[in-house]
């Protein structure tokens, strides 16, 4: 009967989530490109995972408090060993350029940009394993506690590249009337895909010392190491022969990505506990880190066809097309995070306690980015129709494009988080948690990018009526300065409960009402210099020089307001006071994004 009642309560929680759920995301974590080393990795207990991310540090959890502030290790009354497994369910999403001002420059620049102006669909799935141990009091080490935590990462992303439109504006100074139907080359690529694997580990160690009954100190250190490997997309070669016809067509597209992410964390903390009712913890930490990644992308396409007929007349036709490109992109992030925090607990009585605290976090990072892009296109056709030289023609065209770009980017981020929470123990073995969180997030980004390009276009046509030769050479450079600032004020109102159905089964359910107001300011300066030379027909030359073409623009400030409801749930199976097996679900069970399974042993 108790089991049926437990299942009924749990299913009701899930149905309630499905009814009121709008969209769940992790609003507390912000990412800028791939700079994940800048964000401190927070340890969350299984109880927090069952209630939701926003309950982090609102609960009184011995393991969670210890990894937040190492001096809290001295509060442990026993040893804890825990293992957690989690799995990301596939998550399809549309991906565009990272927020580095590149999308703005693509809109503005006379130079086509090939690195980012397409969309791709990403499916990510992968497990994460966590092993941890916390040493409590013992007869040998009465004043020293220690512990460790090992996180193992393995994520695999399959990226599907849809058909996309690749703009390549031709020379604006040439008249292509009669030569080409359009001034833009449309390249529709076939669907492609590649695999990207990210794997690594995060190792954290803790130690605390009990100086007296009222004062304890702690030290925390950690290292994060990740590697990223991307593989090639497709390789296709085929051809065939039919009588005197000859066809050959092949394409080769190789994509390779290598990267490493490294970061270190060091934090010192203290805990002041004058009596059993009051407790104050203070924490200071620094996280330096580096993110280096290299992308090599090469693409070659070749098409050749030949037709020949020998009857009373002779017909000869040949077409050849070659397209090749090569891109090398390197970026190097260097940055650090500095944070400080405090947390105060007050046990009002046996059933009611409250907790308040605040965290200030400052992140600064610098980016050095280098890119080179080379493009070559050749088209050659030769036609001799039967017994009619009036229609004999030869067409040859070549495009050569070389682009070099260097980028210097900066990122500054200040985050303040304050919270107040209450824990209430009800008589029917239910624990109620509710509170409020205030978050102020201020971010500033900037980018300065000099770009240089050499572009050559040659068109050669010979026929019975006309012989023409056209060549165009363009040398261009740009200096692009961009900055963007974002200010967000957020309020979270979390509420949750953990209820024991009996001595074995415990269910948890948590939701957060979330409000956020965001204001964005963005502006850019664009300075363009280019020189142009054209040769037409028999060597007649036209020279055109344009220098210092400057554009400045300030986008209207953008403001928007968000109002969402975030939900989580979970269930635990307990064996006496020693073993606990827990399951937590992010989002909802009908559309889960992550599933956690945790085992905790106390001895």
**Predicted local confidence at residue 579, as pLDDT:** 77
**Predicted local confidence at residue 148, as pLDDT:** 86
pLDDT tens digit string along 317-375?
666 777 777 777 777 778 888 888 888 988 888 888 888 889 898 888 887 777 777 77
Four-CA torsion 305, 311, 313, 318, nearest 10 degrees: 10
Under the phi-then-psi rule, with left for phi > 0, alpha for psi from -120 to 50, and beta for the rest, what region is 183?
A: alpha
pLDDT tens digit string along 509-522?
888 888 888 888 88
Whether 103 shows a pLDDT value over 60: the answer reads: no
**What is the pTM for the complete model shown?**
0.70
Question: Do 207 and 72 touch, CB atoms closer than 8 A?
Answer: no
Q: Where would I find the H helices in 52-147?
A: 62-68, 102-108
Distance CA 506, CA 583 (A): 11
Question: Do 338 and 362 touch, CB atoms closer than 8 A?
Answer: yes
- What HEC string does 390-457 produce? HHCEEEEEEEEEEEEEEEEEEEEEEEEEEEEEEEEECCCCEEEEEEEEEEEEEEEEEEEEEEEEEEEE
Distance CA 22, CA 458 (A): 56
Q: What percent of the chain has pLDDT over 90?
A: 0
Q: How many CB atoms lie within 10 A of CB 511?
A: 22
Question: Do 235 and 184 touch, CB atoms closer than 8 A?
Answer: no
Question: Do 541 and 533 touch, CB atoms closer than 8 A?
Answer: yes
Strands 234-242 and 80-88: unpaired
Distance CA 552, CA 528 (A): 11
Lowest mean pLDDT among 7-16, 219-228, 268-277: 7-16
Distance, CA of 48 to chain centre: 24
Distance CA 313, CA 234 (A): 43
Distance CA 449, CA 481 (A): 7
E strand or H helix at 354: strand 352-384
Lowest mean pLDDT among 9-13, 90-94, 411-415, 440-444: 9-13
Distance CA 481, CA 500 (A): 59
To the nearest whole number, what is the mean pLDDT of the chain? 69
Intra-chain end-to-end CA distance of the chain, in Å: 31
Which are the contacts of 114, defined by CB distance < 8 A and separation ≥ 6?
166, 325, 327, 373, 375, 403
**Predicted local confidence at residue 12, as pLDDT:** 46
Q: How many CB atoms lie within 10 A of CB 75?
A: 19
**The two structure tokens encoding residue 82:** 């825990």
Exposed e or buried b per residue across 199-211, where buried means at least 16 C-beta atoms within 10 angstroms of its C-beta:
ebebebebbbbbe
pLDDT tens digit string along 251-271?
666 667 778 888 888 888 888
């Amino acid at each position: 009967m108790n089991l049926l009642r437990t299942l009924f309560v749990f299913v009701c929680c899930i149905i309630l989530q499905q009814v009121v759920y709008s969209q769940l995301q992790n609003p507390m974590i912000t990412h800028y490109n791939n700079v994940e080393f800048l964000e401190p990795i927070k340890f969350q207990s299984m109880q927090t995972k069952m209630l939701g991310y926003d309950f982090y540090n609102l609960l009184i959890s011995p393991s969670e408090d210890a990894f937040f502030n190492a001096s809290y290790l001295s509060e442990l009354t026993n040893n804890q060993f825990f293992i957690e497994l989690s799995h990301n369910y596939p998550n399809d999403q549309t991906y565009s350029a990272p927020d580095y001002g590149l999308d703005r420059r693509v809109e503005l620049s006379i130079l086509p940009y090939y690195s980012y102006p397409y969309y791709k669909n990403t499916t990510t799935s992968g497990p994460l394993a966590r092993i941890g141990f916390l040493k409590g009091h013992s007869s040998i080490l009465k004043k020293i506690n220690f512990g460790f935590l090992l996180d193992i990462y393995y994520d695999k992303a399959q990226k599907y590249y849809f058909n996309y439109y690749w703009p390549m504006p031709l020379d604006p100074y040439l008249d292509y009337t009669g030569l080409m139907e359009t001034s833009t080359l449309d390249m529709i690529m076939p669907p492609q895909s590649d695999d990207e694997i990210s794997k690594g580990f995060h190792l954290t160690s803790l130690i605390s010392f009990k100086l007296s009954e009222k004062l304890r100190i702690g030290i925390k250190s950690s290292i994060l190491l990740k590697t990223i490997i991307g593989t090639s997309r497709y390789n296709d070669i085929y051809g065939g022969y039919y009588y005197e016809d000859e066809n050959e067509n092949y394409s080769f597209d190789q994509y390779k990505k290598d990267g490493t992410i490294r970061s270190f964390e060091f934090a010192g903390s203290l805990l002041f506990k004058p009596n059993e009712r009051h407790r104050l913890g203070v924490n200071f930490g620094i996280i330096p880190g580096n993110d280096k990644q290299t992308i090599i992308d090469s693409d070659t396409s070749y098409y050749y066809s030949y037709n020949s007929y020998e009857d009373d007349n002779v017909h000869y036709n040949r077409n050849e097309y070659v397209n090749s490109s090569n891109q090398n992109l390197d970026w190097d992030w260097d940055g650090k995070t500095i944070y400080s925090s405090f947390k105060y607990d007050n046990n009002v009585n046996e059933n009611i306690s409250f907790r308040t605290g605040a965290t200030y976090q400052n992140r600064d990072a610098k980016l050095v980015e280098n890119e080179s892009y080379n493009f070559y296109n050749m088209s050659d056709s030769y036609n001799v129709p039967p017994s009619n030289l009036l229609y004999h023609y030869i067409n040859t065209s070549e495009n050569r494009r070389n682009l070099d770009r260097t980028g210097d980017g900066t990122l500054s981020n200040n985050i303040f988080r304050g919270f107040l929470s209450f824990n209430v123990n009800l008589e029917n073995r239910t624990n109620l948690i509710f509170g409020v969180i205030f978050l102020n997030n201020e971010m500033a980004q900037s980018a300065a990018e000099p770009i240089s390009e050499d572009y050559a276009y040659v068109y050669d046509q010979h026929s019975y009526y006309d012989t023409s030769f056209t060549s165009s050479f363009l040398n261009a450079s740009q200096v692009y300065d961009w900055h963007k600032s974002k200010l967000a004020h957020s309020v979270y109102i979390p509420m949750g409960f953990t209820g024991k159905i009996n001595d074995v089964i415990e269910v948890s359910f948590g939701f957060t009402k979330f409000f956020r107001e965001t204001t964005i300011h963005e502006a850019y300066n664009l300075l363009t210099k280019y020189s142009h030379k054209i040769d037409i027909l028999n060597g007649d030359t036209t020279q055109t020089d344009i220098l210092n073409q400057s554009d400045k623009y300030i986008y209207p400030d953008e403001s928007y307001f968000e109002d969402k409801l975030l939900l989580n749930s979970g269930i635990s199976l307990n064996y006496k006071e020693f073993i606990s097996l827990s399951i937590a679900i992010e989002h909802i069970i009908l559309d889960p994004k992550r599933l956690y399974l945790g085992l905790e042993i106390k001895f």
